[in-house]
Amino acid sequence: DGGITQSPKYLFRKEGQNVTLSCEQNLNHDAMYWYRQDPGQGLRLIYYSQIVNDFQKGDIAEGYSVSREKKESFPLTVTSAQKNPTAFYLCASSAVRFNSYEQYFGPGTRLTVT
Amino acid sequence: DQQVKQNSPSLSVQEGRISILNCDYTNSMFDYFLWYKKYPAEGPTFLISISSIKDKNEDGRFTVFLNKSAKHLSLHIVPSQPGDSAVYFCAARETSGSRLTFGEGTQLTVNP
């Protein structure tokens, strides 16, 4: 089955610790994205990557880091510099081709930092 | 600066009736628009999209209308079903690039 997997579903961390969220896709998509959702808010873009070994900051990149060493994988690290890390994190991917811009999402990871 | 806005946080509709979800945008460089449906604690699922060169796109019970002059799009669901109860996000793509800008979402509740 083709799709996007995120693990784990729920993650708990102590304040001051870095944590890495996993995102893997087997859709052969070139582009991958990380979003954050907070209650009552839409999806806000953290980082995105349109090709391996390249990525760009989204609208709320401060306190986060990413890598894109393989086409299938786009892990997100939430660092201790992120002031409000508790949120629902969503990973997505898309094929980069003309007139087809749908992004497909994983199931999400709920991160709680106390 | 919120470039994609969904002004109604919630909408309640009776089963069998039409649901109309609205979305406004400000960026004239948006050329492709999408609607997503999201259940709690799950990732959004793609519903339907429309290119800026069209004013209507239909897929089964779902129709999206685009009014470029008003910078407004809407999603019509007919007939509405209880399983349609979810949060609906509209999203827009700017000419060049693949990133999307999302609205805040509208919670649709379809009552049996």
Q: What is the pLDDT of residues A22-50, one digit of tens each?
A: 999 999 999 999 999 998 788 999 999 99
Question: Per the CB < 8 Å rule, is A42 touching B34?
Answer: no
Q: What is the mean pLDDT of chain B?
A: 95
Interchain CB contact of B27 with A (< 8 Å) = no
Task: Enumerate the residues of chain B whose CB falls inside 8 A of the CB of residue A31.
Answer: 98
pLDDT band of residue B6 (cuts 50, 70, 90) is very high
Structure tokens at A95: 């094929």
Interchain CB contact of B96 with A (< 8 Å) = no
Tokens 């700017």 sit on residue: B94
How crowded is residue B18: how many other Cβ atoms within 10 Å of its Cβ? Answer: 13
Task: Looking at the complex, report in whole angstroms how far the Cα of residue B84 sits from the nearest Cα belonging to chain A.
Answer: 19
Q: Tell me which residue in B42, B49, B105 faces A42 most closely, judged by beta carbons.
A: B105
Interchain CB contact of B1 with A (< 8 Å) = no
pLDDT in tens, B15-66: 999 999 999 999 999 999 999 999 988 999 999 999 999 999 999 999 999 9
What is chain A's alpha carbon radius of gyration, rounded to the nearest angstrom? 13
Structure tokens at B96: 């060049």
Interchain CB contact of B106 with A (< 8 Å) = no
Q: What is the pLDDT of residue A39?
A: 83
Q: What is the pLDDT of residue B96?
A: 77
Interchain CB contact of B47 with A (< 8 Å) = no
Angstrom distance (rounded) from CA A80 to CA A20: 11
Q: Which residues, in sequence order, are bridge partners of residue B94?
A: B30
Please check whether residue A6 is in contact with residue A110, taking contact to mean a CB–CB distance below 8 angstroms: no
Minimal-distance CA residue of chain A relative to B107: A40
Angstrom distance (rounded) from CA B69 to CA B77: 23
Question: Per the CB < 8 Å rule, is B98 touching A96?
Answer: yes
Minimal-distance CA residue of chain B relative to A57: B99
